[in-house]
Amino acid sequence: MTARAGYVGSGVVHLLIGWLVVLLGFGNASSGSETDQSGALEQLARVPGGVVLLWAVAVGTAALTLRLLLEAVVGGRSDSARGWAARAKDVGKAIVYGVVSYSAATFALGVGKSSSGSSRSAAARALATPGGVFLLLAAAAVAIAIGIGLVVIGCRRSFRKHIVRPPRSLDRPVTVLAVVGYVGKGLAVVVVGVLIAVAGFRSDPGQATGLDGAFDAVRQLPAGSVLLVAIGVAFLAYGVWSFFRARFARL
């Protein structure tokens, strides 16, 4: 039950990000507001009962993080290459949900910080170390690989193996939501990776940002507003898909 709550928490965060990105695309975003995970959590903290919701997100995603780590360690997988790849995938997911849990808890406590600022600080520290450029390029490669992986999951519909088949009346809507969500989110993560790579090549930590910077970069493109609205809709779709995943997840 707590693991399912983690998917619900992830859904809430993605819905908020999607809504902020759509507003940004229409030029209605609040001044100074961020359109990434930290911005979404900050918005959640401002609504009545938001702190309670933040703690619910933090606890739910923490439970899902623990479950993924346990699955990676004692999941009964073989020692084949595929088995180790599955373990690494679970660990990667655990890190993502762990970050969400930590961020939600910090905003619930009133000490949350901008993730884009953290990204620049981390990039600056990396560039200050010997071989820092290569560290940033490696991080960029990982982000791009994750983004492409999300796109592939959506296009191949391999997300189906993680859920029990929904009733026929819901099967098609759930599939469409997942495909749109995975592909849109994957493209956004690829842009993040490209920005990190640019920071590495230019030795400029100011270029290394998270989703917030990626959305801003998309806005600068021709027809960028249209693209932003499309990406925002994709994040909204992923958020709704997360609710269905909580309901139909194979646990």
Q: What pLDDT digit, counting tens, does each position of 203-247 carry? A: 666 655 667 777 877 888 888 888 889 998 999 999 999 999 988
CB 228 within 8 A of CB 24: yes
Q: What is the pLDDT of residue 32?
A: 45
Distance (Å, whole) CA 10 – CA 246: 10
Where residue 31 falls among pLDDT bands split at 50, 70, 90? very low
Q: What pLDDT digit, counting tens, does each position of 73-124 carry? A: 776 566 677 777 777 877 887 888 888 888 888 888 887 665 555 555 566 6
Q: Which of 56-70, 179-193, 196-210 has the highest mean pLDDT?
A: 179-193
pLDDT at 137 over 60: yes
Q: Which residues contact 176 (CB under 8 A, 6 or more apart)?
A: 237
pLDDT at 132 over 70: no
CB 15 within 8 A of CB 237: no
Q: What is the pLDDT of residue 157?
A: 93
Q: Domain containing 242: what range?
A: 2-248
Q: In total, how many domains does the chain have?
A: 1
CB 237 within 8 A of CB 150: no
Look at 37-51, 52-66, 168-182 and tell me which has the smallest mean pLDDT.
Answer: 37-51
Q: Which residues contact 39 (CB under 8 A, 6 or more apart)?
A: 16, 17, 20, 33, 212
Look at 31-35, 37-41, 158-162 and tell me which has the smallest mean pLDDT.
Answer: 31-35
